[in-house]
Amino acid sequence: MDILTLNCGSSSVKYQVYDWDNKEILANGIVERIGQQASVIEHHALNKETLKKEAQCPSHKEAIKLIVDTLMDPEVGAIEDMSSIMAVGHRVVQGGDKFSKSVIIDDEALNTFKEVSNLAPLHNPANIQGIEAAKKILPDVPHCAVMDTAWHQTMPKHAFLYALPYSWYENYGVRKYGFHGTSFLYVAKRTAALLGKDPHQLNAIICHIGNGASICAVKDGVSVDTSMGLTPLEGLIMGTRSGDFDPAVVFHMMKSSNLSPEEIETQLNKKSGILGITEKYIDRRDVETAAQSGDQRSQLAIDMEAYRLKKYIGAYAAALGRVDALVFTAGVGEMAPLIREKVLEGLENLGIKMDREKNKISKTRNAETDIGAADSPTKIFVVPTDEELVMTEDTYALVKGEYDVHTNFTYSFQDPHYSNKGRAKRLEKDIAKKPELADIVARPE
């Protein structure tokens, strides 16, 4: 009994096939450069050689057909035929305020995703294209939607509203929605398990730092505030997105440079953030290397990103009152000790005290690590996220009629002794190369 999950971006599709009975990943991969002259698929199947090849994928329909064909390929595939797929789970970035949990996709749900596409113009259209393409190729199985925004529907009104004309909220849906919800859900549940706490009693600040980045305040196990807003543009400094700035800058630049609204939107979403500061780099690894070589703009980008994160942590600590744990996740959060160190410096007065050596050691996607000092009142964890597992478990439960909003639902990874088989195997190799890593692996209390 297998579950296929699809995460469709504007020019890519990430996928995974999960064997529910044996609780292991049979295959995963990505198709990139959809709509370009030469698309590329990178495919990994259990106990088989990695496949990487070019193909023609002018749209998501061809990309998903390529994925299906690759999964059934006798040499590199993972399944004999698609009859083993019991359901398909789809990531949907923006569900508006219509959904507080994942749903089986019917015509009404799909139409709602289309209606709120203007709130996520870079994401929802691609998500919808992927759903429609997959439903044509796999018409006889249930398709389910897992919304990034659903996790944040617990935010109180005083946190999600802007101080703008109230009619904008009533008539146009202008409010904070928040994103990265699937990641925050996984990390919050795992953090509660590591602390030995009831998930409904967890207070935590979670930093999801990747090319896109956001931070979430979790109180009593639910989201009460987050840095992203109406769109994923608000909040932290990101790879190419600006994050917070004075909105009057938009009018100033439109008047000064004669930029159109469309040009401004492109600048803020695709040419700002780390790229805007350095004018060269997006990937934080490139930025760190350049900074070490004396590139002042790259050093400035690191300092600015860390400072913005530090400010949000301070604000959310004040809002929560009690913070059980500060947690880092996603690509940069999991793999960039330098940025974590810059963020954590000087937070001792908030009860957040890192161990610098532990922080330097923690650079793995295969283990949850504890990088806090022994006498730190607040725990500091690095927890590799697993959005695909959340999508898989939501999809299975929806099909079986066992699903509910996360506060009334129990995931497998809430078990303190939960283990991801694939990560556990890879961790053994990581520890063989870096034995000291074993000393900072977080153990449930």
Residues 119 and 243 in one domain: no
Q: Which of 82, 21, 70, 84 is nearest to 42 (CA)?
A: 70
117 — pLDDT class (breaks 50, 70, 90):
confident
Residues 235 and 363 in one domain: yes
Residues 224 and 131 in one domain: no
Residues 221 and 143 in one domain: no
pLDDT score for 259: 94
pLDDT digits (tens, 9 = 90+) for 184-202: 999 999 999 999 999 999 9
Residues 251 and 372 in one domain: yes
Residue 7 has pLDDT above 80, yes or no: yes
Q: What is the mean pLDDT of the chain?
A: 93
Judged by average pLDDT, the poorest of 12-16, 207-211, 433-437 is: 12-16
Residues 50 and 120 in one domain: yes
pLDDT digits (tens, 9 = 90+) for 272-313: 999 999 999 988 999 999 999 999 999 999 999 999 999 999
Q: Does residue 227 fall inside a structural domain?
A: yes
Query: Which of 110, 132, 147 is the last residue before a domain boundary?
Result: 147
Of 148, 225, 324, 370, catalytic: 148
Residues 206 and 278 in one domain: yes
pTM value > 0.75: yes
370 close to 314: Cβ distance less than 8 angstroms = no
47 — pLDDT class (breaks 50, 70, 90):
confident
Question: Please, what's the b/e burial string for 237-268 (b: 16 or more CB within 10 A of its CB; e: otherwise)?
Answer: bbbbbbbeeeeeebeeeeeeeeeeeeebbebb
346 — pLDDT class (breaks 50, 70, 90):
very high
Residues 343 and 275 in one domain: yes
154 — pLDDT class (breaks 50, 70, 90):
very high
Residue 211 has pLDDT above 90, yes or no: no
Query: Which of 132, 147, 162 is the last residue before a domain boundary?
Result: 147
Q: Does residue 215 fall inside a structural domain?
A: yes
29 close to 111: Cβ distance less than 8 angstroms = no
Residues 130 and 249 in one domain: no
148 catalytically annotated? yes
Partnered with residue 225 across adjacent β-strands are 217
Residues 218 and 331 in one domain: yes
Domain that holds residue 338: 197-383+417-440
pLDDT (average), residues 374-401? 96
Q: Which of 217, 234, 178 is nearest to 314 (CA)?
A: 217
Q: Does residue 333 fall inside a structural domain?
A: yes
Query: Which of 147, 173, 208 is the last residue before a domain boundary?
Result: 147
- Name the domain count of the chain: 2
Residues 25 and 143 in one domain: yes
Q: Does residue 266 fall inside a structural domain?
A: yes
Residues 140 and 211 in one domain: no
Q: Does residue 46 fall inside a structural domain?
A: yes
Q: Does residue 17 fall inside a structural domain?
A: yes
Q: Does residue 116 fall inside a structural domain?
A: yes
Q: Does residue 30 fall inside a structural domain?
A: yes
> The domain spanning residue 248 has which CATH number?
3.30.420.40
pLDDT score for 261: 93
